[in-house]
Amino acid sequence: MKNGFSKLTKEEKINWLVDKVFINNIEAKKLLEQYHLSNSDLQKIHDDFSENTLSNFLLPLGVAPNF
């Protein structure tokens, strides 16, 4: 490792994680990458929210108008 996990590229971090933690590497990598945004500029903003960002966590946004 390049003197710390944070020094790795995003791709290297994902590969490290799936190699060290998951049994099914291909499925784990696919799961992490399926939530990446297709707009690279927008994904870069998300990646910069925190250190060592590997994927996105999407939440539904709902409205309850009758309260």
Q: What is the pLDDT along the chain (67 residues), one digit of tens a residue?
A: 668 999 999 999 999 999 999 999 999 999 999 999 999 999 999 999 999 999 999 999 999 999 8
**pLDDT at residue 1 in the model:** 62
Cβ pair 25, 19 in contact under 8 A: yes
**pLDDT at residue 2 in the model:** 65
Query: In the chain, what are the domain boundaries?
Result: 5-47
b/e sequence 16-39, b meaning 16+ C-beta within 10 Å: ebbeeeeeeeeebbeebeeebeee
Output the CA torsion sign for 24, 54, 7, 4: negative
Q: pTM of the predicted model, to two decimals? A: 0.78
As to burial, measured by CB atoms within 10 angstroms (0-12 exposed, 13-18 middle, 19+ buried), residue 54 is middle
